[in-house]
Structure 1
Amino acid sequence: MSYNEIKAAYTAAGQDHVFTFYDQLSSEEQSTFLAQLKSIDPHRITNIAKTVLAPEISNESIISVGPEITPLPDSATASLFTASADQIVDWKKKGTALIAENAVAVVLLAGGQGTRLGSTAPKGCFDIGLPSHKSLFALQAERILSLQKVVAHSTGSGKVTIPWYIMTSGPTRAPTQAFFQQHSYFGLEEENIIFFEQGVLPCIDNAGKIMLETKSKVAVAPDGNGGIYRALTEAGVLKDLKKRGIRHLHAYCVDNCLVRMADPVFLGFAASRNVSVATKSVPKRNPTENVGLIVSKDNHPAVIEYSEISDEMAHRTVASVEGTSALAFRTANIVNHYYSLAYLETIPTWRENYLPYHVAKKKIPCIDLSSGETLTPSTPNGIKLEQFIFDCFPQLNMSEFANLEVSRDDEFSPLKNKAGTVGEDDADSSRADLMKQGKRWLLASGAHVPESILGVEVPPLLSYAGENLEWTKGLTFDTEKEISK
């Protein structure tokens, strides 16, 4: 496209203000700026802006009926707390068989930076303070290595490969790849680690106009974790999955040090139900925990914000199997999902028109169009547009969806906050949760760990989920340091 064609498109979309300073730019700056403008569909941005900024209809004569929000039906959920041992073994066998067939891959959402943690590196590079000082990336890579060996040994298969697809953002792409290269891909084969990048969207002001970061650059921001669906198609990931014979995917967030990638139990659970999408959840800590909930919304699966249910609903209880009471709305979303490849291959039919865009009001450095000066706002002055990964759920029938409730102690310890600021979901809690798990595994295997030892680091290479620790029986571990065989 020529300059005239690009400018005509932006003018037709009501976004031609982006050319305000074009004549002041050098020829090189103009060329780079036009390349960025060409990559953006201004009509799409204008249409999105109209949708997200449209005022809500207020008419007292119209009686608004809200959606029906209820807990997930029993038919769509199961729990490791109540499932029989035989059932769990059966799920694990099914999932293990799928991994042995090299039909499983994992997708990592790793676009986040460690800014809130006080780090300039991508979040996956963060050291939570383990005795080994292993990063989140290292822990997860070792877990994949461990599972490949466990499955190969238990099934007598040949080579077992679990490809690892890592979705970065623009700012984290280069440093993430460099980190993996620096650490020799943590023992995994380079060809089985595939990096791809989530998209970006222009930032807009409160009038829906595209904002300029500089006179020659549009201000952009990552398009949210829901951008995974566009990225899977546009980065060629779906084609690569099909080429490798992958039929089942597990997607998760980088900040969970306890995550079990390609968990055979979860895979077997989802595959046995023949669903398109499945989720893992953990029980809500308490009625007021600020966490998204997986629910039935108008008889379709959905994730809602904690603010979308009333105080009565938040505190409502039901009788549990054990005879005690449990929260009725307790299914906390941990962004831990299963997808069938067959479902993901339908993305082009619904991606653009179905997923909504969410408004995040932010302080966005920008150029003042009148003066040309750079503004560094102290209050939110613009909007970043995001899509959420779970916003595809409501298009599913409940029969196409399933949720598995798992133990928070065993599988979920998110790294959200800088240590010492909030008191939970930080590096201190992540380290403690991982080491407490190691201590439980050792005690269950017959080892001795003094009560004074709060936790022990059991490296993923020694055990994926507590197995293969029989050799520790009778041994005493009186230090928190990483153990070795």
Structure 2
Amino acid sequence: MPALEELRAAYAAAGQDHVFTFYDSLTSTEQASFLTQLASIDPARITHIASSVLSSITFPDSTPGEITPLPSAATASLLTASSADIAKWYDAGITLLAQNSVAVVLLAGGQGTRLGSADPKGCFDIGLPSHASLFELQAHRILGLQRLVQDTTGVTKVVIPWYIMTSGPTRAPTEAFFSKNRYFGLAPSDVIFFEQGVLPCIDNSGKIMLDTPSSVAVAPDGNGGIYRALVQQHVLADMAARGVKHVHAYCVDNCLARLADPVFLGFASSRGVAVATKSVPKRAPEESVGLIVSKNKRPAVIEYSEISTEMAAARAEDGELALRTANIVNHYYSTSYLADIPEWPESYLPYHVARKKIPCTDLTTGTRIAPASPNGIKLEQFIFDCFPQLQMSEFANLEVRREDEFSPLKNKAGTVGEDDADSSRADLLRQGKRWLLAAGASFDDDVLGVEVPPLISYAGEGLDAAKGKHFSDTCLLTL
């Protein structure tokens, strides 16, 4: 058990000793649990963060700054790139994969609450003919890509380790889901679960809030918490032991995500950059998406609200939106860049305030409070907030086709009308139809599409056997 007096002194020095208000009334079991939680928190760090946030010290400047499109040297597009360039990037990526130097990191801390599910979001079935979950689709993309690289290069064994970042509520059910499904054919030793961190919730004066008399109220530290978690959960050490040099990170809610995409890996590695992103073209000036831009000559992601209506609608010489590079949280990292995380100062990533209704314990009465309005602050970091720390020469962006690579699952079907299970399912089926048409298959006019399992084709290749095949209804492809 952590030493009580040492913890009292540390919290008192940080101005947070109110957390011990009810300590003497707790049972010995509750005291032990509470002290363990308190020992996992650095109260001086929380006080420093709270002070910085409340005084706006760590926020970016409120002025817009110089916002322009990414310079042409820092970006390329699959919409306009030559077939020779794409083939060159693909071949380079296949080589990296054959060297077993690539790992994939999945951001999977989200729950399916907004989708009407009590399970982690990755367990969700979007209604495909196979009824495959998001986790299954993505696991089979890795497995299919490993086999593709082996067949292409003759390498006996290709391994793409999959690091899955969960949150506290999703860790156990995610691991249980993988175990129940026998890891979807992947080797269990190559599927590594780790957990993003949490931060104490603070009130409007910067004081740590108590959830119960014997526990601190905490919340996940945002997807930017991945960087600290990679170090603290020994993920970077595991990658180093495996010889990983290139990392692809993405979000679980995109059914079209191309894990360890050879084209993206080859593009980023050929540029020699520390960080690269994938983007899709913004659909319309009013679409509320984050944009990848140059801000004060550094790469950055800005919110739609940070630019004027005129700037959002401005057109480039080619007639496309000038600021059209929509962020889809799909990143490449060199491990040499990630290895420096322990040296990042606290200010490297700003903290963002999310004012929330946080159930808590009243320090005067000890009663439980269920607030009707926001009463506290959850602190979050965003994964892209490291971009402005990079020189533009250390960064690159690859624009991809939305219909091929991005279909987010955000909403419950029938509520918003987009970015839901219906749209995700339709996008994946339409993609399969495009692939099969290119392979020489034919369809009845009213057929939406066909589900092409990732174990049959990673990105439209290997479908020669479908030539001459006719589809009269939506189905699961078997060859």
TM-score, with normalisation over the residues of structure 2?
0.98
Instruction: Give the unaligned 5+ runs of structure 1.
Output: 58-62
Aligned pairs for 1:72-471 within 5 A: 72-320=70-318, 325-350=319-344, 352-471=346-465
Q: Is the partner of 1:318 in helix, strand or coil? A: coil
Report the counterpart of residue 14 of structure 1 in structure 2. 15
CA apart distance, 1:478: 1.6
Where 1:195 maps in the other structure, the secondary structure is strand
For 1:209 and 1:431, locate their aligned partners in 2 and report how far apart those are by CA, in whole Å: 45
State the secondary structure of the residue aligned to 2:424.
helix
Letter in 2 for 1:99: L
8 Å CA contact retained: 1:198, 1:231: yes
Q: Structure 1 pair 11/332, CA: closer, same or farther in 2 (3 Å)?
A: same
With over 3 angstroms needed to count, the CA separation of the structure-2 counterparts of 1:89 and 1:185, relative to structure 1, is same
- Give the distance between the partners of 1:458 and 1:219, measured in 2 at CA: 45
Counterparts of 2:36 and 2:355 in 1: how far apart (Å)?
A: 27
Q: Offset at 1:378?
A: 2.2
Deviation at 1:274? 0.5
| Cα offset, 1:166, TM superposition | 0.5
* Identical amino acids, percent of aligned pairs: 69
**1:479 Cα deviation (Å)?**
2.0
- Between the aligned partners of 1:273 and 1:470, the Cα distance in structure 2 is 33
Tell me, yes or no, if the aligned pair for 2:64 and 2:307 is still in contact at 8 Å. Answer: no
Q: Secondary structure at the match of 2:258?
A: coil
Q: How many residues align?
A: 476
Map Cα deviations across residues 52-83 of structure 1 (whole Å, 9 max, x no partner): 111689xxxxx986411111000000000110
| Partner secondary structure for residue 327 of structure 1 | coil
What is the deviation of 1:121? 0.6
Aligned equivalent of 1:475, options 459, 469, 477 = 469
Cα distance between partner residues in 1 of 2:476 and 2:374: 45
SS, match of residue 279 in structure 1: strand
Which runs of at least 4 in structure 1 moved beyond 2 Å after TM superposition? Answer: 63-66
Q: Residue type matched to 1:35 in 2?
A: T
Which residue of the partner structure matches residue 53 of structure 2? Answer: 52
Deviations 1:435-477 (A, max 9, x none): 0101111111100111110111111111100010110000112
- Residue 20 of structure 1: how far off its partner (Å): 1.1
Q: Give unmatched runs, 5+ long, in structure 2.
A: none
Distance in 2, Cα, partners of 1:382 & 1:418: 28
Shift of 1:2: 1.4
Over 3 Å counting, the alpha-carbon distance change for 1:352 and 1:124 in structure 2 is same
User: What per-residue deviation string (whole Å, max 9, x for no partner) do you get for residues 82-138 of structure 1?
Assistant: 100000000000000000111101000001111111111100001111111110000
Q: 2:305, 2:312 → 1: CA distance?
A: 9
CA distance, structure 2, for counterparts of residue 271 and residue 151 of structure 1: 18
Contact 1:229/1:351 (<8 A) preserved: no
Query: Shift of residue 319 of structure 1?
Result: 2.2
Over residues 133-192 of structure 1, what are the superposed CA-to-partner deviations in whole Å (9 max), with x where a residue is unaligned? 110000000000111111111111111110000011111110000000000000000000
CA separation of 1:383 and 1:188: change in aligned 2, threshold 3 A: same
Contact 1:205 1:381 in 2 (8 A): yes
CA RMSD of aligned residues (A): 1.3
C-alpha distance in structure 2 between counterparts of 1:418 and 1:180, whole Å: 24
The CA deviation at 1:376 is: 1.1
Instruction: Tell me the distance in 2 between the aligned counterparts of 1:133 and 1:198.
Output: 29
Query: SS state of the match for residue 79, structure 2?
Result: coil
Q: Which residue of 2 aligns with 1:24?
A: 25
Deviation of 1:481 (Å): 1.7
Query: Which one is further off, 99-108 or 10-19?
Result: 10-19
